[in-house]
Amino acid sequence: MKTNYEQWAVYQIWPRSFADGNGDGIGDLHGVLAKLDYLKWLGIDAIWFSPLYPSPNADYGYDCADYKNINPEYGDLELFKQVIDEAHKRNIKIIIDLVLNHTSDQHEWFKQSKIPGSKYHDYYIWRKGKGKDGKKPPNNWLSMFEGGAWEYNEDLGEHYLHVFAKGQPDLNMANPAVREEVKDIMRFWLDMGVDGFREDVITYIAKREGLPNGFPLPIATGCKHYTSLPKVKDYLREFKHDVLDKYNAFTVGEAPMMTTKVAKDYITGDDHVLDVMFHFQHMEADCIMNDWVATPFRLGKLKRVFKHWQRELHGQAFNANYMENHDHPRVVDKYGSRKYRVQSAKMLAALYILQSGMPFIYQGQENGMTNIELQRLDQFKDVVTFNNYNLAKKFGLSEKFFVKYANRRSRENSRTPMQWTAEKDAGWATPWFPVNENCSEINVAAAEADPNSILHWYRALLKFRKENPVAIYGKYTPLRAGRKVFAYESEHEGKRLVFVGSFSDKPKAFTPPAGGELVFCNYNTVQQKLQPWECRVYVMEN
């Protein structure tokens, strides 16, 4: 295992909503430059940028129209180079999103692929259809985002595969020419100074030969035939050997539907092909299938998942720990409490940041930002929201009901503009997406000024983690606790850390560990019982 990244805490920027440098209401790289000192102050070691590529924004950059350029809405290559240099001066690494499963339908390759005889035709997965006229799709696969997974092209008389939105045709990674392009793209950014990649839905990049039908599901039918096939590892090994290792580049792969058994195959051992991996299991304590079906929150599930990943990977690989990103609602609303927003945000932060692994913090999370309260469907922007609305309609649900649902569950909850100040719209001029009305109360300026803020708490946690290897490498043991209490112990080289956090609005009985020194508490005074959403962290020598 490479050792250089283990200490990192990573901050994710979803560029469109982070900071606007030129006042057009869209986040950009000038905005980022202006906030580097803020990020340094917070104590992060690396920034992960969600896609900055030129894109028609069918999926806000996850539909890439040019892999070697910067979206003019955000800046240009020269400005990005400046961001890299300024970040490096502050000892902050830069990780960029790499979307290899698909491109935009506006990418030059895809446009060319529609020309009969073009070498780009085989860059994508074009197939003849079924039925007399060939207009029926080649198989029964459904996309993750938008109905069927195939789109018919009249001129060619063929269908192309899109596992995600229509505007995101899947690349044919089995074609060696495509893999050469990938390596070329990697070199391009690494030569510019980027330190690593977050590889989008990386376990989907190989498709089963013959593209057989899948077991029918309401959504994502066929996913078994493109999830974690053995070829994925072959491709990643090739990228690593031919490019990534030469630059000592860091990789984190996104892996929906991942289990520890399969994950270990990717991230452990001498022939590991990714450094760390994002799985989704701990994000599903209040839903099934990645937010598609909401369920009541189950703390037991959260406990089981953390225990399982911590124990299984210990000593072999590193966990990528996160509670938020651009694909999920805000965690205070997901697992915490709006009534006890400050306490619950702090508790959840300590719960995951002090576990062994690399913590990832999503923009605004450090300030306890919350979900939105939009009134109408047309205020939403995301292809997934509209797809889910179409599904909801099929089940007879009304728009009004769906808007309420989306305000709780949609990933747009994490995509509202960052709340920097208490001014109208948090300081954004004509923001591209509604700013949460609570910005007058929840904003960075106020949090900076308040030593008891969530922001200061995150900063203190990150500092503590840096200074205490037990919070980076510790061996995890769950501790017995009441039904609404989460407790674990972490142990490393004779030092122990005990975390205890309440998920309850009511006081909870608790016995502090003997001889423990209290290093964190989200209340100013400690009582005998745990107060609502209280969290305490103790350390002790063995």
Residue 205 interacts with ligand GLC (CB under 6 A): yes or no: no
C-alpha to C-alpha distance for 139 and 276, rounded to whole angstroms? 34
Q: Are 257 and 227 in contact (CB under 8 A)?
A: yes
Helices H / strands E in the chain, number of each? 15, 18
Long-range contacts of 180-183 (CB under 8 A, 24+ apart): 181/67, 181/109, 181/123, 182/100, 182/239, 183/238, 183/239, 183/242, 183/243
Provide the binding-site residues for Ca ion, judged by CB under 5 A.
Answer: 20, 22, 24, 26, 28
Q: Are 279 and 35 in contact (CB under 8 A)?
A: no
DSSP 76-112: -HHHHHHHHHHHHHTT-EEEEEE--SB--TTSHHHHH
Minimum distance from CB of 61 to ligand GLC (Å)? 9
Residues 6 or more apart from 220 whose CB is under 8 A from it?
142, 143, 144, 289
Of the listed 63, 97, 200, 327, which one is catalytic?
200
| 204 versus 352: smaller Cβ distance to ligand GLC | 204
State how beta strands 126-127 and 158-161 pair.
Answer: antiparallel
Residue 62 interacts with ligand GLC (CB under 6 A): yes or no: yes
Q: Which does 200 bind (CB under 5 to 8 A by kind): ligand GLC, Ca ion, none?
A: ligand GLC
Residue 305 interacts with ligand GLC (CB under 6 A): yes or no: no
Minimum distance from CB of 330 to ligand GLC (Å)? 16
Residue 20 interacts with ligand GLC (CB under 6 A): yes or no: no
Other CB atoms within a 10 A radius of the CB of residue 291 amount to 21
Listed residue (420, 413, 447) closest to 325, CA to CA:
413
| 32 versus 283: smaller Cβ distance to ligand GLC | 283
With both helix axes pointing from N to C terminus, report the angle between 77-89 and 29-42 in degrees, rounded to the nearest 10.
Answer: 10
Q: Which does 20 bind (CB under 5 to 8 A by kind): Ca ion, ligand GLC, none?
A: Ca ion
Minimum distance from CB of 74 to Ca ion (Å)? 8
Q: Which does 45 bind (CB under 5 to 8 A by kind): ligand GLC, Ca ion, none?
A: none
Minimum distance from CB of 104 to ligand GLC (Å)? 10
Q: Which does 164 bind (CB under 5 to 8 A by kind): Ca ion, ligand GLC, none?
A: ligand GLC
| 142 versus 455: smaller Cβ distance to ligand GLC | 142
**Residue of 254, 275, 324, 534 that binds ligand GLC (CB under 6 A):** 254
Minimum distance from CB of 325 to Ca ion (Å)? 22
Minimum distance from CB of 21 to Ca ion (Å)? 6
Closest residue to ligand GLC, based on beta-carbon distance: 62
Other CB atoms within a 10 A radius of the CB of residue 315 amount to 10
Please report, as residue ranges, which positions from 309 to 348 form the binding site for ligand GLC (by CB under 6 A): 326-327
287 - beta bridge partners?
A: 294
Q: Residue 48 to residues 22, 78, 84, 98: CA-CA distances in angstroms?
A: 22, 19, 12, 11
150 by DSSP, 3-state: which?
strand
Residue 99 interacts with ligand GLC (CB under 6 A): yes or no: yes
Q: Which does 59 bind (CB under 5 to 8 A by kind): Ca ion, ligand GLC, none?
A: ligand GLC
| 227 versus 468: smaller Cβ distance to ligand GLC | 227
Terminal Cα-to-Cα distance of the chain (whole angstroms):
28
Residue 291 interacts with ligand GLC (CB under 6 A): yes or no: no
Of the listed 45, 105, 151, 254, which one is catalytic?
254
Residues 6 or more apart from 263 whose CB is under 8 A from it?
255, 277, 279, 313, 317
171 - beta bridge partners?
A: 124
**Residue of 20, 28, 59, 195 that binds ligand GLC (CB under 6 A):** 59
Minimum distance from CB of 23 to Ca ion (Å)? 7
* 200 classed as catalytic: yes
61 by DSSP, 3-state: which?
coil
Please report, as residue ranges, which positions from 138 to 177 form the binding site for ligand GLC (by CB under 6 A): 164
- 405 sits in which H/E element: helix 399-409
Instruction: Count residues binding ligand GLC (CB under 6 A).
Output: 9
Minimum distance from CB of 415 to ligand GLC (Å)? 10
Minimum distance from CB of 260 to ligand GLC (Å)? 20
Q: Are 284 and 306 in contact (CB under 8 A)?
A: no
| 22 versus 452: smaller Cβ distance to Ca ion | 22
With both helix axes pointing from N to C terminus, report the angle between 454-467 and 29-42 in degrees, rounded to the nearest 10.
Answer: 60
Q: Residue 352 to residues 155, 262, 303, 323, 359: CA-CA distances in angstroms?
A: 52, 22, 11, 8, 7
Q: Which does 472 bind (CB under 5 to 8 A by kind): Ca ion, ligand GLC, none?
A: none
| 164 versus 389: smaller Cβ distance to ligand GLC | 164
Q: Which does 254 bind (CB under 5 to 8 A by kind): ligand GLC, Ca ion, none?
A: ligand GLC
Q: Which does 28 bind (CB under 5 to 8 A by kind): ligand GLC, Ca ion, none?
A: Ca ion
| 385 versus 522: smaller Cβ distance to ligand GLC | 385
HSE-CB at 237 with a 13 A cutoff on CA atoms is 12
Residue 201 interacts with ligand GLC (CB under 6 A): yes or no: yes
* 254 classed as catalytic: yes
**Residue of 158, 170, 195, 200 that binds ligand GLC (CB under 6 A):** 200
User: CB-based burial of residue 506 (10 Å sphere; 0-12 exposed, 13-18 middle, 19+ buried)?
Assistant: exposed
Q: Which does 22 bind (CB under 5 to 8 A by kind): Ca ion, ligand GLC, none?
A: Ca ion
Q: Which spans of this chain sit near ligand GLC (rule: CB under 6 A)?
A: 59, 62, 99, 164, 200-201, 254, 326-327
Cite the active site residues.
200, 254
